[in-house]
Structure 1
């Protein structure tokens, strides 16, 4: 370990100062960004969990040696967060020597366990009831040398959200991998193209953007006061951010999603949102009908359900993995947390046909993409922090999060299978915990699969695997309807 640690020993000289009653390095510290500070406030104290399934057994010593390269690339992984009480509680990044043994955790496992899949779920769930020790850089790597139904071994990367958002952290991970088919080639990822509104009339395009922005901003500001979501079985009670969470995932065919996308002239994201609406409708209908001796297909849903998701937009310029590698080399400050949020209304209710879920999703997503609501949320958060402090921003964030039912996020992963240190990866399942909402659905593409990752409050959602089934079944229904529609139009 001395040899490994020495790779991180060359750091800038730092001086010490009195912080929280202890001698701690302060002079060379860089303050946390405004958004990063909010992630330390109650109700917004978010941790990112990324579950990685391996296609083969891995040599942990090889992984350790290569992790040095990741840590060196990203200074946040080799810096502590230190709070200075004498300066209004300001938190700074303080460079430090990293002892990997304090970050890499290898639990003793019973190889004769009854269910390895259940063990991994329980292990990650237990992590959601704890926080990372801030006396070291706020990340951990847990390796579970156990074979599951979809992997030969499993690792769990846990990091505090103040280090960075999902896009920057996943991009950092991918920039340290290579194609499984070519050890010398970086993975390629889909580049998300920003909506440019209506192209046939510039005036209408501008008017459309202004109108959508005004409607989105007004709704955004009034939601915590007057526009709270309906109390459905998926709505979290107060204090849900402290509950244990269950992390489950389900992979479906990306080709099936692309088939629907191409047939309906939509985006992959539109299809994913449409599938999610259909699945939530099926799930909630079942929950409302529990204990009722009535035919299963009956509609038990109340009318006019208000159901919204906190939807995350990446505000960085699109560019893919190579652009991220260039960003690292040029030391640009685009990592961290560069995300905006919008309130995304989801239509909960049975439609005339499965394809209507996708059509509704496209209409809503087109309005959100043709607006500046996400940018408004990002810059207004920075202004609130600047003039009123992170505590006020944290309170407002919690009120906004709590008025919605769930979180929703998606991420375009690599187009082909990738490997780290020569070890191929079976799946990547990123998620979060610490939010005051009972459900987070994250969708991430990887090679020929789309993986839905659920972070579910166990007290509110005791059966998250059933919701995974509903997601899978909803995609099948939408795909079959697409094929049938195509046959009928021939």
Structure 2
């Protein structure tokens, strides 16, 4: 009778996709973890009722993992929210509440989720911190979906604070139209040149991609992970900076927000590495000239995960929970390997210009689509173990993960609780450093996940990233917008 019941359940379930299986490999057992700050204390009963009408409509969040033979299946199950929504008792007068939240979040990385129930949980910490009156911590296994789909799902279960019945509004991408060419001959020439350039860039990027799999490894720096880093406990920190400052730099330099964020990251990492490696023996400041010569020869690259789905509006993202949604759920990600320049620059705007040059070059390449296709092919031809080994090799031979996610433009509420910040990140992959950016109203949240034995103070790195933004913004206002005080 037991075997008959299991067979009946499997017939109603869904086989786990090969891409999702990758995230259960021992070397790629990855989780998405997102902290959410609330302006008010969090009422667990209200949250549970809200989840019942939103998150529990999604089949991935109401299914458990069951092995049938050698194949894993998603099997529908009854969800007991008391098992998934965890509310620890906390002393309201605790010393250093922000440190307590960081330690609590770090401790979550020590234990896996219980596979006998759906692979997600929500921890509600009613403790007053510098930025909130309460904190929610989502932990979701990466096999349930990629970062884009999971963060989109999280946003889709929120509502505008000004209108509790409306979904959040995300910034729309504006397309700029190029002026028409002067002649049909000119148009044909530009089209041919563009296609040849696209093919050349893609070939160069894929050669670098395969070289990274085979032998091309980043230099060993204080932020480069060592063997087994994917299994270690991680620490997390986040910092809110001014989105308006980022927009000032974007407009004045005629670049994108992503260009600015990548420039800030390069500048911040240059500051950080020069500080911890380039100090004088008597405790003085950085020996910039000597360190710059050393850092000039350092190979340091970021693995950037790209969502290869067609862009979707927030309503379509919310509709991912529907069975016949046009927006594909799951893990639809390709890789782009991006080189970083680490030398200290006399002109801090050079970091942004370098970033723009690199990103413009990468935009004119099919690297993300090709790497996504290669991953699917490796899974079909060689199986999950080989595909996982290849993915691990790519990440291990690079230094960090970098991503930028566009968030709501107005204040949102989660189950009636006004949100002060959103800070998503991931862990379980072979990087000692992960940097995520997410915009929210007039703020940009920088989230870092680190291996504490290599990067013992993630707040120091946040300080350098914030200081880099301030320095770049100051120079922009003084040189490109002189009328701004």
1:188 and 2:182 are equivalent in the alignment = no
Q: How far off is 1:489 after superposition?
A: 10
Determine the structure 2 residue equivalent to 1:129. 110
Quote the Cα distance in structure 2 between the aligned partners of 1:197 and 1:238. 48
| Distance verdict in 2 for CA 1:289–1:110, change over 3 Å | same
Quote the Cα distance in structure 1 between the aligned partners of 2:374 and 2:175. 21
Contact 1:197 1:205 in 2 (8 A): no
| Distance verdict in 2 for CA 1:95–1:151, change over 3 Å | same
Q: How far off is 1:25 after superposition?
A: 3.4
Determine the structure 2 residue equivalent to 1:26. 10
Q: How far off is 1:183 after superposition?
A: 1.9
Quote the Cα distance in structure 2 between the aligned partners of 1:199 and 1:347. 36
Determine the structure 1 residue equivalent to 2:299. 306
SS of corresponding position for 1:26: helix
Quote the Cα distance in structure 2 between the aligned partners of 1:237 and 1:153. 36
Determine the structure 1 residue equivalent to 2:95. 114
Contact 2:279 2:285 in 1 (8 A): no
Contact 2:279 2:286 in 1 (8 A): no
Of residues 59, 79, 83, the one that matches 2:63 is 79
SS of corresponding position for 1:25: helix
Quote the Cα distance in structure 1 between the aligned partners of 2:180 and 2:234. 44
Q: How far off is 1:291 after superposition?
A: 6.3
SS of corresponding position for 1:122: helix
Superposition pairs of residues 332-411 of structure 1, within 5 angstroms: 332=326, 334-411=328-405
Which stretch has the larger CA shift, 273-282 or 204-213? 204-213
Please list the CA deviations of residues 419-448 of structure 1 after superposition, one character each: whole Å capped at 9, or x if unmatched: 122210000100011011100000000110
Contact 1:15 1:26 in 2 (8 A): no
1:248 and 2:237 are equivalent in the alignment = yes
Determine the structure 2 residue equivalent to 1:317. 310
Compute the TM-score of the two structures, normalised by the length of structure 2.
0.92
Please list the CA deviations of residues 225-266 of structure 1 after superposition, one character each: whole Å capped at 9, or x if unmatched: 232001011111100111111110001111110111111111
Q: How far off is 1:43 after superposition?
A: 2.0
Which stretch has the larger CA shift, 158-167 or 26-35? 26-35
Quote the Cα distance in structure 2 between the aligned partners of 1:164 and 1:243. 23
| Distance verdict in 2 for CA 1:415–1:479, change over 3 Å | same
| Distance verdict in 2 for CA 1:130–1:195, change over 3 Å | farther
Quote the Cα distance in structure 2 between the aligned partners of 1:439 and 1:335. 27
Contact 2:280 2:286 in 1 (8 A): no
Contact 1:410 1:443 in 2 (8 A): yes
Q: How far off is 1:289 after superposition?
A: 2.4
Determine the structure 2 residue equivalent to 1:5. none
Which stretch has the larger CA shift, 322-331 or 29-38? 322-331
Quote the Cα distance in structure 2 between the aligned partners of 1:94 and 1:210. 43
Which stretch has the larger CA shift, 369-378 or 290-299? 290-299
Determine the structure 2 residue equivalent to 1:39. 23
1:67 and 2:67 are equivalent in the alignment = no
Determine the structure 2 residue equivalent to 1:151. 132
Determine the structure 2 residue equivalent to 1:93. 74
Determine the structure 2 residue equivalent to 1:57. 41
Quote the Cα distance in structure 2 between the aligned partners of 1:184 and 1:80. 31
Contact 2:280 2:287 in 1 (8 A): no
Quote the Cα distance in structure 1 between the aligned partners of 2:137 and 2:180. 44
1:296 and 2:285 are equivalent in the alignment = yes
Quote the Cα distance in structure 2 between the aligned partners of 1:439 and 1:195. 35
| Distance verdict in 2 for CA 1:196–1:96, change over 3 Å | farther
SS of corresponding position for 1:324: helix
Q: How far off is 1:82 after superposition?
A: 1.2
Of residues 437, 444, 450, the one that matches 1:443 is 437
Determine the structure 2 residue equivalent to 1:7. none
Determine the structure 2 residue equivalent to 1:280. 269
Compute the TM-score of the two structures, normalised by the length of structure 1.
0.91
Quote the Cα distance in structure 1 between the aligned partners of 2:180 and 2:106. 47
| Distance verdict in 2 for CA 1:469–1:446, change over 3 Å | same
Can you give the 5+ residue segments of structure 2 that lack an aligned partner in the other structure? 182-189
| Distance verdict in 2 for CA 1:489–1:442, change over 3 Å | same
SS of corresponding position for 1:379: helix
SS of corresponding position for 1:323: helix
Which stretch has the larger CA shift, 58-67 or 166-175? 166-175
| Distance verdict in 2 for CA 1:199–1:295, change over 3 Å | farther
Determine the structure 2 residue equivalent to 1:225. 214
Contact 2:405 2:438 in 1 (8 A): yes
Quote the Cα distance in structure 1 between the aligned partners of 2:345 and 2:122. 44
When the two chains are superposed, the root-mean-square deviation of aligned CA atoms in Å is: 2.1
Q: How far off is 1:414 after superposition?
A: 0.5
Please list the CA deviations of residues 106-159 of structure 1 after superposition, one character each: whole Å capped at 9, or x if unmatched: 112122321110100000000011110100000001111111110000010000
Can you give the 5+ residue segments of structure 1 that lack an aligned partner in the other structure? 1-13, 19-23
Which stretch has the larger CA shift, 353-362 or 480-489? 480-489
Determine the structure 1 residue equivalent to 2:146. 165
Of residues 227, 232, 240, the one that matches 1:238 is 227
Quote the Cα distance in structure 2 between the aligned partners of 1:477 and 1:305. 24
